[in-house]
Structure 1
């Protein structure tokens, strides 16, 4: 996804510190003269909005003094709009943040600690709580998580006489199947292998026991051989012709190619389940399997959290809303909608049952070997330059090793700022 420069974003956030300290948040009434507090809730996924609006109705029944006002902004514009609101002392009372964004918001004082918000902390996976914590304080309550799996086209496997992917697959199995499923003369390929970090070379880096960041995030790991080899494996599908050529990936996605019958396999996150399986083609022909195993089994993972603006004028109402969103009952309602996997352990069963004929348990089982996305100081700035540098390898201008080492040097310059 296209994102604004983190150098600009950080400058905006630093400016916001002074402004946030002076106050902020939404108006504490609805303009009608009543004592009802109106709290704003900002999110970016219109697919998730309906179920949260239903939850808001339940909340308002139990809290008649509070009205929840939704602000839904597409992801591409979400953080730009949010940062503008922060500098204008008009940040939403409660909003979504993801793991990569969390440290910059926490470090710059944008978020209010939520340690006194009552929720079943023991029901949230520790790695996601850790991602929203600093110096012993919690700054967000994880609401969901995602992991990745291998989506595959059963019809294409059947036609090729290849057994479906399962947990016995290794890197070698994966490569062999991709080659056999490729019909380049028909523009059909075994795998969609875009030049992307999440759902791409980060997964194979971790499967090879490498890491894009080392020394607690203070240094790039792209000069380490395990990381280089992990990137090289992901590139190998493109190099050997079993993945859709990079030029043909422009303007499309792996999920679109999968739904068009143009690729047999694609790594996708659990958040793509409602997108892929609401389509008749996807429902009839596609299922999911665990990601193949390299030296180890691994997948990247993200988690969104509900956070509270440090400048809110409605602290009590905002904390009540976050607490309500974090209950088992609210989590189960989200799960039943099928849009996302709740972070609340046990509630995910309802999400799996929303698509009973699909092998969705692979996503929830992946929590045991999931690696949260990087979220240390300036890691987002370092990630932002990866595609430009690594594209030199994908186009043949540099070797994978040379591109990775160039990336390490440039990333270290950003990480040391």
Structure 2
């Protein structure tokens, strides 16, 4: 055989082997765990922090696996204290979970850093109807006009009350006609200083406390463009002065008492008649108070307002299994996935019309109050550097409630520092 013929034969053999090796491939691309053939398993790593979600999450993943038998879904539950550090470190190193829980305060930092995937192209490709989700959460998880997280479940704020304390004082239960003035008037009647019972807890906290009252007063925490703080407005000052008056008059536990004992515990132990609380507190408070527990809409100031927060499912921007991850997110946040969530009583599903199971989870409690609050809900205020300006906010406002500095000074400092932080954000 000539040298030339030998070389041609060798090339033919090599090409034949390559064709054989590649034959039958039905790869969809991006397979991080196998060769990509139809018989190979792919693995999706899912991360969240609350093991109470396990049962309904497993049910929903089982639905996904019916259409994705070759995808192995591994769920890791990391305690809250370690979740964010572990997540950010892994994502920054271009590894980490494929699909994971995201909350409002961290969203902008992750989206602006390119750590989570812009889902808008996938949404547009599949014509996913995002109007089916609570608008406040769609707003919360939108960055540069694109949706980066599909809403999953939410929290809103209502006014919990102790029926027994109201009955003893001969005061009618709160309803949707109550205002700030009604709360002030009745808190005085419901307070029993001799027995250490407060008429109202004015929470020195943001989500279930002063954020709501700032918006009810007609103000804002951060403007829609996320370029300016509203803490130094007259409306914000009026909200804090209204809260502070309860503490000064002895109708509410003061800041020091709230630091020593969690306000939710004070209310749950029968030491307060009214407590603005988060919807997710319902099972715990019902366990403590039973049928003595009632809930009403959050009383209005100049207007109705209630902070709405909730979680979304997001996708690692560096996932090698984009389509599989996206398909999983659609199932998790779809109608059936949300019904599984609602039926567990875990929280209010973000998918409109699937909340019936949650509403029935505590029959004696009018949980519809929290769903109705979504009609006047305000998205939890966030920006790229939420953690930085909230650190300033917390210190200044806590000092003001402790009487160390006037509220006007605390709010001015908070606004000034917050505006400086906002000016340095990437999205501005």
Query: Contact 2:31 / 2:320 at 8 angstroms: preserved in 1?
Result: yes
Structure 1 residue matching 2:157: 3-state secondary structure: strand
Where do 1:349-360 residues align within 5 Å? 349-360=356-367
Structure 1 residue matching 2:277: 3-state secondary structure: strand
Q: Deviations over 1:356-387 (max 9, x none)?
A: 22111110111110000112232332122212
Structure 2 residue matching 1:250: 3-state secondary structure: helix
Residue from 249, 253, 258 that aligns with 2:267? 258
Residue from 102, 105, 111 that aligns with 1:106? 111
- Using the TM superposition, give the Cα deviation of residue 322 of structure 1 relative to its aligned residue in structure 2, in angstroms: 0.3
Where do 1:121-270 residues align within 5 Å? 121-214=130-223, 216-270=225-279
Query: Contact 1:26 / 1:91 at 8 angstroms: preserved in 2?
Result: no
Q: What residue in structure 1 maps to residue 7 of structure 2?
A: none
Aligned mates of 2:170, 2:234 — CA distance in 1: 36
- Using the TM superposition, give the Cα deviation of residue 45 of structure 1 relative to its aligned residue in structure 2, in angstroms: 2.0
Q: Deviations over 1:6-47 (max 9, x none)?
A: xxxxxxxxxxxxxxxxxxx99536xxxx82222111112222
Query: Contact 2:92 / 2:115 at 8 angstroms: preserved in 1?
Result: no
Q: What residue in structure 2 maps to residue 95 of structure 1?
A: 100
Residue from 276, 284, 288 that aligns with 2:291? 284
Does 2:319 match 1:319?
A: no
Query: Contact 2:256 / 2:402 at 8 angstroms: preserved in 1?
Result: no
Task: Give the TM-score normalised by structure 2.
Answer: 0.86
- Using the TM superposition, give the Cα deviation of residue 171 of structure 1 relative to its aligned residue in structure 2, in angstroms: 0.4
Aligned mates of 1:290, 1:308 — CA distance in 2: 35
Structure 2 residue matching 1:40: 3-state secondary structure: strand
- Using the TM superposition, give the Cα deviation of residue 187 of structure 1 relative to its aligned residue in structure 2, in angstroms: 2.4
Pairwise CA RMSD: 2.0
Structure 2: gaps spanning 5 or more residues: 1-29
Aligned mates of 1:55, 1:125 — CA distance in 2: 20
* Higher deviation after alignment, 382-391 or 292-301: 382-391
Structure 2 residue matching 1:304: 3-state secondary structure: strand
Q: 1:365 to 1:356 in 2, by over 3 A?
A: same
Q: What residue in structure 2 maps to residue 403 of structure 1?
A: 410
Q: What residue in structure 2 maps to residue 76 of structure 1?
A: 81
Aligned mates of 2:228, 2:355 — CA distance in 1: 36
- Using the TM superposition, give the Cα deviation of residue 185 of structure 1 relative to its aligned residue in structure 2, in angstroms: 3.3
Q: Deviations over 1:75-105 (max 9, x none)?
A: 2322122112223333211011112221111
Q: Which has the larger radius of gyration?
A: 2
- Using the TM superposition, give the Cα deviation of residue 283 of structure 1 relative to its aligned residue in structure 2, in angstroms: 2.3
Does 2:388 match 1:381?
A: yes
Q: What residue in structure 2 maps to residue 21 of structure 1?
A: none
Aligned mates of 1:91, 1:26 — CA distance in 2: 15
Structure 1: gaps spanning 5 or more residues: 1-24
Query: Contact 2:211 / 2:307 at 8 angstroms: preserved in 1?
Result: yes
Aligned mates of 1:137, 1:220 — CA distance in 2: 23
Task: Give the TM-score normalised by structure 1.
Answer: 0.88
Query: Contact 1:120 / 1:327 at 8 angstroms: preserved in 2?
Result: no
Aligned mates of 2:260, 2:61 — CA distance in 1: 37
- Using the TM superposition, give the Cα deviation of residue 122 of structure 1 relative to its aligned residue in structure 2, in angstroms: 2.6
